[in-house]
């Protein structure tokens, strides 16, 4: 069942604006590649890159780990690879939420294997209390407590992604 609003549309817009200005200041003259981790990132990703008024490239990667429930299986399988050549480029990995850290840790390793100049992680949300693997998030929207959230790209069994704000999902029963 859909619960309370955890992050409103206004709060999301403020976070995305702030992150876009932080990143804009950092990428002067660099033309980085922004790699969105599908599918959860899409709304955040498009809002973010449109606010960065500098040359950049966009690409996407998709991995599967969560299945359709609310608990990670802990194994990450590549579903869709990037097409950009990232050798000697600055890469920004854009994710919706860092939970255990397993997904981003594995995705960052896949990207680093192609010899980019740098890899930086951008995430809208983070649940630090759930971390199993250390992940260095360079640009973060906000930390949240250990609740399962949906909306603004985040799903439960592929539902709720299109909600414009972020809600808590209350488990049935
Ligand atoms: P991690 O590998 O860090 O444990 O999990 C990352 C992925 O798990 C996220 O990209 C997201 O797809 C999913 N995930 C983790 N926490 C939540 C949550 O609270 N809500 C939703 N909808 N997905 C989550």
Residues 100-139: tens digit of each pLDDT: 999 999 999 999 999 999 999 999 999 999 999 999 999 9
What is the pairing mode between strands 2-7 and 166-169? antiparallel
Answer for the pair 90, 30: CB distance below 8 angstroms, yes or no. Answer: yes
Distance (Å) from CA 17 to ligand 1 centroid:
23
Residue 165 lies in a domain: no
Tally the domains of the chain: 1
Nearest CA to ligand 1 atom 20: 149
Residue 104 lies in a domain: yes
Q: What is the CATH number of the domain that holds 98?
A: 3.40.50.2020
Catalytic residues: 99
Nearest CA to ligand 1 atom 9: 97
Residue 158 lies in a domain: no
Find the domain containing 31 and state its range.
9-147
Residue 85 lies in a domain: yes
Residue 93 lies in a domain: yes
Q: What is the DSSP letter of 100?
A: S
Residue 3 lies in a domain: no
> Half-sphere exposure (CA, 13 Å, Cβ side) for 71?
2
> pTM to 2 decimals?
0.94
> Half-sphere exposure (CA, 13 Å, Cβ side) for 80?
11
Position 25 confidence tier, pLDDT thresholds 50, 70, 90: very high
How far is CA 25 from each of CA 29, 56, 93, 125, rounded to the nearest angstrom? 10, 13, 17, 21
Residue 170 lies in a domain: no
Task: Please provide the average confidence, as pLDDT, over all residues in the chain.
Answer: 94
Report the distance separating Cα 27 and Cα 46, nearest Å: 18
Which residues does ligand 1 sit against, CB inside 6 Å? 40, 65-66, 72, 95-104, 148-150, 154-156
Report the distance separating Cα 173 and Cα 158, nearest Å: 20
Position 67 confidence tier, pLDDT thresholds 50, 70, 90: low
Query: Span 78-82, mean pLDDT?
Result: 97
Position 69 confidence tier, pLDDT thresholds 50, 70, 90: low
């Amino acid at each position: 069942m859909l619960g309370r609003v955890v992050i409103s549309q206004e709060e999301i817009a403020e976070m995305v604006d702030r992150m876009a200005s932080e990143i804009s200041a950092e990428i002067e003259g660099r033309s980085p590649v922004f790699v969105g981790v599908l599918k959860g990132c899409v709304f955040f990703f498009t809002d973010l890159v449109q606010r960065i008024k500098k040359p950049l490239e966009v690409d996407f990667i998709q991995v599967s780990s969560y299945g359709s429930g609310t608990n990670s299986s802990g194994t990450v399988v590549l579903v869709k690879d990037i097409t950009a050549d990232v050798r000697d480029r600055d890469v920004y990995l854009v994710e919706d939420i860092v939970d255990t850290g397993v997904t981003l840790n594995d995705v960052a390793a896949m990207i680093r294997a192609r010899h980019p100049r740098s890899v930086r992680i951008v995430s809208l949300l983070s649940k630090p209390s759930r971390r199993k693997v250390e992940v260095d998030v360079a640009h973060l929207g906000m930390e949240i407590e250990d609740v399962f959230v949906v909306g603004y790209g985040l799903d439960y069994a592929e539902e709720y992604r299109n909600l414009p704000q972020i809600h808590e999902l209350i488990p049935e029963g």
